Amino acid sequence: MRGDSTTRGKRRRKYLKAVGAGVAVGLAGCTGSRSRQNNLKKLGFTSYVRGGSWITAYVEAARFYCQDNNINLDVRPNRQSASKQITDIRDFANKGYDGIIVGVWSTGAAKSAIDYAMRKGVPVMATNADTASSKIPLYVGFSNYAGGRKSGEQMVKALKQEKSGKNEWHVLNIRGAQGNQSANQRSQGFIDVMKKQDKVVIDRTINGDYAQDTAQNKVQQYINANGKPDGIYSGNLSMGLGVVGALRNLNALYKKGNDKHIVLTQMDGSPQVNPLVKKGFIDAAVDQPNYFYNPIAIKYMGEYVSAGGVDGDGQSAIPNVGSTVKEGGFNINAHQHKGVNLWSKQIWSPAPIKEQNGHPWFQTNSIVITQQNAGKPYLWGNIWSNK
């Protein structure tokens, strides 16, 4: 899987053989991992830190977890600049930080800096957005393609319930920017489900550019020119809110159960989306356990460093590609933050360990938000709401 060195590869293969494929593993959840994790004194974290409550939850969860575990976390915004992120990664490495967490801004651009840090013996793990580097021990994030598929499955389920009398269902696919990897994967996952349905016709795929106003304007223009579809899928929360705005402007926003209801499914919950799901305007949203991403990576980072790090047997602490990590074998300990017992429900589980870009990928579960669970306290959109 990795080509760092022959010796490290042998150690890794020995460990993987011992673990075996398909079993639930959780080395970082072993007794005493908390004390070993305190080997981490100072971590560097470079990420996009502006962009609304989703990013706030993603970054704040890292701060909270480090606070709970006496780790000094140096957070540096990348300011939407690949060069700024590269500079910060190299600076963390040169100053001998215990580890680096990266929410990658530019997949290819960050590779050289990440490889540099690994050569310096400073481990790097990626969260939320992956790196092209094959040298990192672990990437933590959900599957955009699987999320798109789940949204498609929810679309079909709702169409059967709400539009059962129709011979054909016409839907729109509102996707993110062309060329963006996550946008492509989210769109393709949805399309692949629709292709298997004889009654479904995707009338148009519209580029909403991951922006609320763009999606709202383009959907409104489409409906004015072509009439109302039976369903609309949106590839992120901003575009989903744009679709709701368009239907509201057109007096076409109705709750589930109304004959005029247009089925709406989308990626991402949020403080704005969750109430719309609960009220029945949005049928389903597929959400990410974003406030688990960095704590999972940091916990594994502690185990990795304890096992010897880059120059030792650190990779033995990382679960085997082909295995599945489950709650019970691995847990993030709950603590009081934001007025809730944060991390008390391990919504990341189960997590199959895949390989992506030549390194292990801790593929977290995604959560389908429906009218029945939209108010639950474990959803990030309810924790980081303005209430």
What are the extents of the domains in the chain?
Answer: 6-136+289-365, 144-287
- The Cα-based distances of 262 to 138, 248, 286, 382 in angstroms read 41, 11, 18, 25
Which amino acid, residue 205?
T
Task: Indicate the pTM of the whole model.
Answer: 0.85
Residue 96 structure tokens? 């001998």
Q: For residues 356 and 18, which has the higher predicted lDDT (pLDDT)?
A: 356
DSSP string over 53-67: HHHHHHHHHHHHHHH
- Domain spanning 144-287: which superfamily? Response regulator (3.40.50.2300)
What pLDDT is attached to residue 387? 55
Give phi and psi for 243, each to the nearest 5.
Answer: -65, -45
Query: Does residue 254 carry a pLDDT above 70?
Result: yes
What pLDDT is attached to residue 2? 36
Q: Are 291 and 342 in contact (CB under 8 A)?
A: yes
> Who contacts 32 (Cβ-Cβ below 8 Å, separation ≥6)?
none
> Who contacts 116 (Cβ-Cβ below 8 Å, separation ≥6)?
89, 90, 93
Query: Does residue 201 carry a pLDDT above 70?
Result: yes
> How far is 94 from 75, CA to CA, in rounded Å?
16
What pLDDT is attached to residue 31? 33
Give phi and psi for 278, each to the nearest 5.
Answer: -60, -35
What pLDDT is attached to residue 38? 57
CATH of domain 6-136+289-365: 3.40.50.2300
DSSP string over 212-247: HHHHHHHHHHHHHHH---SEEEESSHHHHHHHHHHH
> Who contacts 95 (Cβ-Cβ below 8 Å, separation ≥6)?
none
**How does the average pLDDT of the chain come out, rounded?**
90
> What SS3 class is residue 278?
helix
User: 248 pLDDT band (50/70/90 cuts)?
Assistant: very high
* DSSP E strands, 139-180: 139-142, 169-175
> What SS3 class is residue 153?
helix
**Percentage of residues in the chain with pLDDT exceeding 90?**
81
> How far is 311 from 173, CA to CA, in rounded Å?
47
Q: How far is CA 155 from the centre of its chain?
A: 21
Summarize pLDDT for 306-343 with one digit per residue, the tens. Answer: 999 999 999 999 999 999 999 999 999 999 999 999 99
3-state SS record for 299-337: HHHHHHHHCCCCCCCHHHHCCCCCCEECECCECCCCEEE
Query: Does residue 7 carry a pLDDT above 90?
Result: no
Mean pLDDT for the stretch of residues 126-153:
96
Mean pLDDT for the stretch of residues 158-172:
97
Summarize pLDDT for 265-311 with one digit per residue, the tens. Answer: 999 999 999 999 999 999 999 999 999 999 999 999 999 999 999 99
Residue 256 structure tokens? 């589930």
Summarize pLDDT for 45-66 with one digit per residue, the tens. Answer: 999 776 678 989 999 999 999 9
Give me the sign of the Cα torsion angle 243, 244, 248, 252: positive
> How far is 141 from 25, CA to CA, in rounded Å?
17
User: 375 pLDDT band (50/70/90 cuts)?
Assistant: very high
User: 13 pLDDT band (50/70/90 cuts)?
Assistant: very low
What pLDDT is attached to residue 63? 97
Query: Does residue 386 carry a pLDDT above 80?
Result: no
Residue 138 structure tokens? 């672990």
Mean pLDDT for the stretch of residues 119-145:
96
Query: Does residue 145 carry a pLDDT above 50?
Result: yes
Q: Which helix (H) or strand (E) holds 259?
A: none
